[in-house]
Amino acid sequence: MSDTVIQTRKVNKVYGKFSAVSDLSIQVKRGDIYALVGRNGAGKTTLLKLVCGLTPPTSGKLELFGQTSEQQLGMARAHMGAMIETPGFYPYLSARENLRYYCIQRGIKDRKEIDGALEFVGLAETGRKKFKNFSLGMKQRLGLALAVMNHPEVLVLDEPINGLDPMGIKEFREIILKLNRERDTTVLISSHILGELSQIATTYGFINGGKLIQHISAAELEEKCRSCLRLDVDDTEKAAGILKEKASCSKLEIIDRTTLHVHEQLDRPEMLVKALVENGVMVSQVCRSGISLEQYFVNLIGGKEIA
């Protein structure tokens, strides 16, 4: 069984003279929570629609579960669930009635799947409450219930937490993590709420102008963004030795002759300074260093804000 469940090779999607996706290649591994990060209009939704078969590529190759022909891709998509944009539900039907309609439409005969999906997303107790009276968070969770009703191996989500309040975001995040950990569901998710993505993603694909500008693991990104104490001293070699011996600091990084990064004891800078000064090292500056995921993305694309 292939380790790669989704792969695009130099995929392009052109509308008239506008290139929504340009030579875009991504690789999603089994078990990943792969986060597509980009501004609105960067090409995230177009790429997800290509993966789900909602629009055909202009050129390039798409591979799902190792399959590439149109017939094979159609069969592969039977093992996928998706929530692209707002799911269409009937406003005067309950959650259970809406899912029952989709069961009939899709030929799903086991109605227990409805109860299981509603239970999984926390909507089992909504009873006869009509969809039109649902909160936005409940509507999003019903969309997720529809997407996972067939126990997909891969789940594709487009901006699922957009517009949710903090509690709704937390609940949705926990459901995604539960799917990934308990059902081993691979997740391909897009969003520009980067702080939330950083709590679930295992891999990132940064997109700008329809192009993939960086593919990076969560561990690599954390390393690039992690917080530290920056110490400007007159002798970094001597300072490093003192901090290891006197302050039990082992996570040190000598940047140059006068700059030292310390990746622990971040809440006790005064203790580090005291140890250095008492042992003959001059400290000219101490400050907290490191950047957020949002700032990393802004720096990456050379922009000023995330839309």
For residue 304, being part of any structural domain is answered with no
Q: Of 222, 243, 262, which residue is a domain's last?
A: 222
Token code pair at residue 137: 């968070």
Q: Of 197, 222, 247, which residue is a domain's last?
A: 222
User: Per-residue pLDDT for 289 more than 90?
Assistant: no
Are 151 and 240 within one domain?
no
Percent of the chain with pLDDT over 90: 64
Q: Measure the CA–CA gap between 142 and 96, rounded to whole angstroms.
A: 9
Are 12 and 142 within one domain?
yes
Beta bridge partners of 63: 7
Beta bridge partners of 11: 24
Q: Measure the CA–CA gap between 108 and 113, rounded to whole angstroms.
A: 8
Are 138 and 242 within one domain?
no
Domain with 157 in it: what CATH number? 3.40.50.300
- How many domains does the chain contain in total? 2
The band of 117, judged by pLDDT with boundaries at 50, 70 and 90, is: very high
Q: Of 186, 204, 222, which residue is a domain's last?
A: 222
Are 74 and 208 within one domain?
yes
For residue 305, being part of any structural domain is answered with no
Are 22 and 164 within one domain?
yes
Q: Measure the CA–CA gap between 145 and 167, rounded to whole angstroms.
A: 18
> 18, 22, 10, 26: which is closest to 206 by C-alpha?
26
Q: Are the beta carbons of 19 and 46 closer than 8 angstroms?
A: no
Higher-pLDDT residue of 188, 171: 188
For residues 193-211, average pLDDT = 90
CA 154, distance to chain mean position in Å, is 14
User: Per-residue pLDDT for 78 more than 80?
Assistant: yes
User: Per-residue pLDDT for 166 more than 80?
Assistant: yes
Are 64 and 211 within one domain?
yes
The band of 2, judged by pLDDT with boundaries at 50, 70 and 90, is: low
For residues 251-262, average pLDDT = 89
The band of 86, judged by pLDDT with boundaries at 50, 70 and 90, is: low
Mean pLDDT score of the chain: 90
For residue 296, being part of any structural domain is answered with no
Are 283 and 144 within one domain?
no
What pTM did the predictor assign?
A: 0.81
Degrees, nearest 5: CA angle 117-121-127: 75
Strands (E), the chain: 4-15, 18-24, 27-29, 33-37, 59-64, 80-83, 154-158, 186-191, 203-208, 211-217, 228-233, 252-254, 259-262, 283-289
Q: What is the pLDDT of residue 307?
A: 41
Q: What is the pLDDT of residue 9?
A: 96
Domain that holds residue 254: 227-289
Domain with 266 in it: what CATH number? 3.30.70
* Terminal-to-terminal C-alpha distance of the chain: 39
For residues 36-56, average pLDDT = 93
Degrees, nearest 5: CA angle 180-10-161: 35
For residues 50-60, average pLDDT = 95
For residue 300, being part of any structural domain is answered with no
Q: Are the beta carbons of 67 and 227 closer than 8 angstroms?
A: no
- Residue 61: Cβ within 10 Å count: 12
For residue 306, being part of any structural domain is answered with no
Q: Are the beta carbons of 211 and 46 closer than 8 angstroms?
A: no
Token code pair at residue 10: 């130099």
- Residue 36: Cβ within 10 Å count: 28
Q: Measure the CA–CA gap between 203 and 242, rounded to whole angstroms.
A: 37
Q: Are the beta carbons of 292 and 226 closer than 8 angstroms?
A: no
> Would you list the DSSP string of 201-213?
-SEEEEEETTEEE
Radius of gyration of the CA atoms of the chain, in A: 24
